[in-house]
Each structure stands twice: as structure tokens, then as C-alpha cells.
Structure 1
Amino acid sequence: MNSSRLWPSALIGAVASARSMTPMAALAAARLAGARTPGPLLLLDHPVFKFGALAMGAGELLGDKMKSAPDRTVFLGLLARALSAGIAGAALAPRGKARAGALIAVATATPLAYLTLAGRKRAMAGLGQTRSGLIEDALVVGVGAAVVALAVRPRP
């Protein structure tokens, strides 16, 4: 298997490590724009899931700035990251490589969640929660959008 073709899956896993819903929101936005993914992504073809993913992505960006927001490494946070990374990693993998794409994305997202949390805590100490969160949002959303844009193709 040519593992270099799985780079979108690994990168979307990195995105999920910082924002669990951004991969799904980026894929939903691509679907709304008429793009198709190399791998299967059946759920986001249904309008409820498509708009739900966008709403959850936006909600996560807002909720992250709250003082009561839990760390991304709590069990449910890691579970959400793994699920989102797996689904998105499979969708961005080459045809027939969905399992490998999912595994690579999850294997990237889970340990990186600890590293991105450490980086965010360091940034919070110097910039505060809101400002550091907005900077992280811009980086993560930008990378997520770029990865998806480069990996999908327009529908014929």
C-alpha cells in the first residue's frame, strides 16, 4: 500500500485532536458545496447529519471558550475525537483503503489530543483562554478546511 496517499487521513486526525467536530463539519461543508470524498461517507449525505455536523462544529468552537469546558482528554472527549477522526479518515482515504484511513486518523488524533492540550494550556497561560482558543480555532479550522478541500473532488 502506498502510505503517502493516506496523508489526508493522518492530517484530519491531527485536526480532530484539537477540535473533535471540525473534521465532520469540514466534510459536511464540502458535501454542501457538491464535492465527493474518495472513500465512503454515507451519513453526511443526509441533510439532518450534514447540518447537524455544521451546528456541532460551530457549537464546539463557542463552547471551547467557556471556563467550564472540559479538557479534550476526558473519556468522552477522546471518544468523540476517535469517532470523528475515524469517520473522516475513512472518507478521505483512497478507494478501498477506508479501514487504513480510519486507523491512521484515530492513531493520530488520540495521542495528539494530549499534545494539543499541553500546547493550549501553555498558550492560555500567556494569552488567556479566549484569545488562545480563537487562535487555535483559526489554525485548526483552516487546516481542516484545507485538508478536506485538497482531498475531495467535485461531483461530475
Structure 2
Amino acid sequence: MNIRNLLSSALIGAVASARAMTPMATIAAARRFGRRTPGELMLLDRPLFKYGAMAMGLGEMAGDKMKTAPDRTVPLGLMARVASAGIAGAALAPKGKETAGAAVAVATAVPLAYLTLAGRKRAMARIGQTRSGLIEDALILAAGTAIVALATAPNAPSTDTKARLR
């Protein structure tokens, strides 16, 4: 298998390093707007999980600005990154390569969490927690959205839709 086949999985793992819930939230939003992932992903097709993932993504971005927000490298934060990166990495991997996609995403997310935390701490020292968080949010949301948009495809119209279009 060509490593480029798992590039989307690695990139979504990088997104998870900075915002644990953004990978699942962007994939859930893409599924909500009629896009399909290359890999199998039944979990986020269920409304509870789909809307829950999107809400958690927004909640994480809001909570990140709080003074009491824990570092992303605490055990619970790393576990969230492993879960989110694994699910998203599997979904963006080619069909039949979901396990490899999950592994690549997790292997990217965990070490990069330490690097993105170091960068965020430097930014916080210069421009403050809220401003640095908003900038990081914008960059990570844009990256996650772009990765998912490029890795997914529109769902094929149903035969009813095709008939109506004629």
C-alpha cells in the first residue's frame, strides 16, 4: 500500500493533537451535509453520535479558553485524542485499510500533542490564553475542514433523485 493512501489519516491525527474533538466533529458535519468517507464509519451515522460529536467539538473550543482548562497531554486528554484520531483516521482511510488509518492517526496525534502544547504555551506567553486559543481554533478548524473535504466525496444521488433531475 502506498503511504499517500493514509495521508488524510495522518493529517487528521495532527488536527487531533491540538483539538481532540475536531476530527470527529468535522467528519460528522461532512456526513450531515451528504458526504461519504472512504472507510467504513457507522458510528457517526447515528444521530446521537453525529450531533454529539459536533456539540463536543464546539464545547471543546469554548472550554479551551478557560483558565482551568487542563493541558492536552493529561491522561484524559491523550485518551480523547487517541479515540478521536482513531475513529477519524479509520474513516478517512481507504476501504479495507481502516485499521492502518486509525493506527497512523493515533501515532501522529499523541506525539504532536506535546509539540502543539509547547507552541500554544509560547503563544499564550506572548498574546494571552484567549487570543492564542482563538487563533489555534481557527487554524485547526480550517485544517480539519479542508482535510475532511478533500478526503470525502458527495453521496451518490438515489435513483429517485436521479429521476427527478431528468
TM-score (normalised: structure 1) = 0.99
1:67 CA displacement? 0.1
Structure 1: which amino acid aligns with 2:13?
A: G
The residue correspondences of 1:116-155 to structure 2 (distance < 5 A) are: 116-155=116-155
Structure 1: which amino acid aligns with 2:89?
A: G
SS of 1:106 mapped into structure 2 = helix
Determine the C-alpha separation between the residues in 1 that align with 2:127 and 2:115.
18
Alignment size in residue pairs: 156
Q: Which residue of 1 aligns with 2:17?
A: 17
Determine the C-alpha separation between the residues in 1 that align with 2:98 and 2:43.
15
Determine the C-alpha separation between the residues in 1 that align with 2:30 and 2:50.
10
1:17 CA displacement? 0.2
Structure 1: which amino acid aligns with 2:53?
A: A
1:78 CA displacement? 0.1
Gaps of at least 5 residues in structure 1 are none
Gaps of at least 5 residues in structure 2 are 157-166
Flag as ranges the 4+ runs of structure 1 deviating above 3 A: none
Q: Which residue of 2 aligns with 1:78?
A: 78
Structure 1: which amino acid aligns with 2:124?
A: M
1:95 CA displacement? 1.1
RMSD of aligned alpha carbons: 0.4
TM-score (normalised: structure 2) = 0.93
Determine the C-alpha separation between the residues in 2 that align with 1:145 and 1:41.
17
